[in-house]
Amino acid sequence: MRYRAGMFGYALAFLSGVVFVQQLAVLPELSSLITLLLSSSLLWLVSRLANSNKNLAQKREYTLIKYYILLFIIGYMYAVLYANQRLSFRLDENYIGSNLLVSGDVSGVPVTDGHIQRFDFNIKSYRILTTNNNGINHGQTMRQFPQKLRLSWYYAEQVVYAGETWQFEVRLKPPHGFMNPGGFDYEAWLFQHGIHATGYVRQSALNRPLSDNLSSITFIGKVNSIRQAISQQIDIIANRHLRNTDKATDETGSFALVKALAIGHKSSISNRHWQVLINTGTSHLMAISGLHIGLASLFAFVFIRRAVPAFIMKWVPAQHIAVTGGMIAALIYALIAGLSVSTQRAIIMLSVLSMMMLVRRNHRPVDALGFALLIVLLFDPLAVLSAGFWFSFSAVAVIFISLNSDRPVAGKFDSSVLKPASDANAQQQNSSTASICSRAIITVKQWVRLQLLISVFLLPLSLFMFQQVSLVSPIANFLLIPYVSFLVVPLVLLALACNFLFPGIAEMLFVLAASLLDFVWPVLSLLSALPHALWINGNVDVVSLSGATLGMLLIFFSKRIISMAAARIAATGTFNRQQLIAVYSSLLIIAGLMVAPIFITTSPHLERGEYQLTMLDVGQGSAAVLVTQNHLMVFDAGAKFSDRLDAGSNVVIPCIRSAGHDAVDYLVISHGDADHIGGAQAILDEYPATTVIGQDIENLAAKNKSGCFAGIQWQWDGVDFEFLSPFRDDISLFSSGRHNNHSCVLRVSSTAGAVLLAGDIEESVESRLLQKYGEKLASDILLVPHHGSKTSSSAAFLAAVDPEIALFSVGYNNRYGFPDSQVMQRYRSLSSRLLRTDKSGAIIITVAKDDGIVVEKYREKARKYWHH
């Protein structure tokens, strides 16, 4: 397959247009697209006329440039139209809080977490329920109703199974997630997966399954039903096996890993096991992707190639049958794995390669990669929002670079031609008689080299995407990739094949696969526990990523570049070795300077007496990070949402990393309510040297803990910290079961300005503070007490504080109705600037001497067109 400029180049141009759209805060209007199309057509005609007088070489160059520009524009327009179509189904704001009756199919495998069932739901029909004197009114409709929902059902009366058709009474809201520096973009994830609204199932008599007839279930529904059955079967096997071996728990999580390899269901893997996989850079092995799909195809190819009868090969080549069979096996495995975005991408790439093998067309591997890239983008341009997209294509590109790096290049100066022919013949003879041991050594060396190249080239991308990279990943992947690929995965695939016909054999294979993972897990745990196994740097941006990648490519190909230059210079008869060495050295220095920024960690520059407060977006809870010139404090840690999700690990720690910090001096917990202390332990596990100060901190595992009481104070870098409450002798306020009134109240001040962090105190404590401190409460910034509850923020207290900026830490559409409208009016009457985390995301306030108080709203700063 020949391309005038190479399919890879064309695909990159199309990719650039798609990626450019994902950087937009607002999508362009349709009229703008029409104008762009007309302008492009006009420029194309003008350029054709201008090229008529140029020579053939110039025409080719201009034509190539035109193709790249045209493909960029096509990619841009295609991505805009695709995004507009998907956004058109987003839930209308007017129906937030409305009772809706929806019917449809349960999509995917539902996840049970304690008393909560979570599942995706594909809509078939809907009704908007409004009650009046005549009963239920079904007359209201929406212009575009969401097609796919993500629902939670609390304390469900029945168990929901994949593929079932249900009717639910629900309440929905548009996709909305936290917006914080360094944090996970949940709204982007929902947008990419085509989820148009999220919500919960109400306790209602209208909730019921609509049909028990299996024939009514769609094909995908039946596949998901099979996936859920396999999941339950693996759970039963795990419980039986663990009971027989007298183990209370699955200590290595091996059956959870087997389930992930079998059906792509990773919800059973604990945080502790995920951390080991992340620290060793092997988490990709437990997420079904291109590697696993390719292995399924390879194993099927080898088996079918050997099993094809000779008489069939008279009509159809065995290789064609094997390739087709391998493709079918890979597709079946992808379906059992849930046909996720990563498996869809892998199937497309494998289909492209299989097609090229079947048609027997000559092609460069890089062009096959480009063609696969183009098909993936046409199928789903939003794939570029996935980290897996970039890692999979980058890893394949590195493999191609490694395989082709030693091939001779046209025009390259080849010193081997100067060697005598006899030496070449002797080398060929020695090569042909090489021992199996020598070949094995060569294979091992090539494998080590490939793992090192992949680790090095993907290092900047890993830092950019995840703010961290495993330094032990080359060793871990060198051992684990062949181990999992050729021992564990074949057993899992055989178990899936035997599952329904020979369940006894399937159980033995699942147990054997889990045992193999048990065997290798101590090695991973050892590597994970090594000092500096994980390198953390949150400062890598797009510019640093691009520069480092280009610099690494220059270093890798530097010898080739210089060798080609030497060949051309030698052809002119003016070969100068010293000049060539100087050019080579300069090239390495330039490349080194391009790579250097990813190794540099920077943090906000603050002068003495200045500080920066980041009020984090943690939903209905509270968490803040305060930084001085040389110190960092966390005030409250948000909520813990589940065993795998808490604000500490998912919001606070990424924020600290993204700012270039690697330690927490103090963790202040205002009080023990779940929405303030829930993420504390995760922070302490990450930063064990942290000192904890606060209330209700007895159950936290920390080296240094102490209570917070009025009068405790310290100074960092010219910034004063003082606790104003609780008072040691005010026991009456703590008698009730509520913890709000013994919240730590902390005042931070310097010559540049003051901030008052008030926890969840209520009016009684506000009165006590007024009696004790009076006008000394005055602060420029106030973290509004108790999230804006009507039990707090009394008029007298606000008059004393007189904040210029009032910060409300509240969850979007929260069930408490915070902040209260009357409370908001009190702040407005003071002419305070009201900022809310549910509307602004994280709020970053820099208190500086020269610039005064500078406010930055992260939802505005990092806004993309899909953000709510």
**Residue-level pLDDT at 573:** 61
Q: Report the amino acid identity of residue 654.
A: P
**Residue-level pLDDT at 730:** 67
**Residue-level pLDDT at 675:** 93
Measuring CA to CA, which residue among 558, 552, 562 is closest to residue 597? Answer: 552
**Residue-level pLDDT at 415:** 39
Q: How many residues does the chain have?
A: 868
**Residue-level pLDDT at 5:** 55
**Residue-level pLDDT at 139:** 44
pTM of this prediction? Answer: 0.86
Quick check: 699 and 689 in contact, CB under 8 A?
Answer: no
Rounded alpha-carbon distances, angstroms, from residue 776 to 322, 825, 826, 827: 81, 24, 20, 19
**Residue-level pLDDT at 52:** 58
Averages of pLDDT over runs of 10 residues in the chain (868 residues) are 63 93 90 75 66 58 78 91 92 88 90 87 88 46 79 89 91 94 92 93 91 63 85 87 58 80 82 86 79 82 79 74 85 83 79 75 72 88 89 82 60 41 47 66 78 85 87 88 88 88 88 91 90 83 88 85 73 67 84 87 84 96 95 95 87 91 94 94 93 93 92 95 88 58 94 94 93 92 94 94 95 89 93 93 94 93 93
Quick check: 702 and 709 in contact, CB under 8 A?
Answer: no
Q: What are the phi and psi torsion angles at 815 (to 5°)?
A: -75, -10
Strands in 666-759 per DSSP E: 666-669, 691-694, 704-707, 713-716, 719-725, 745-750, 753-757
Of the CA atoms within 13 Å of residue 786, those in its CB half-sphere come to 23
Distance, in Å, from the CA atom of 338 to the CA atom of 344, rounded to the nearest integer, reads: 9
**Residue-level pLDDT at 797:** 95
Phi-psi region of 194 (alpha: psi -120 to 50; beta: other; left: phi over 0): left
**Residue-level pLDDT at 463:** 87
Please name the residue that has the structure tokens 């062009």: 367
**Residue-level pLDDT at 46:** 64
Measuring CA to CA, which residue among 257, 248, 282 is closest to residue 511? Answer: 257
719-725 vs 745-750, strand pairing mode: antiparallel
What is the maximum span of the chain, computed from C-alpha positions, in angstroms?
A: 103
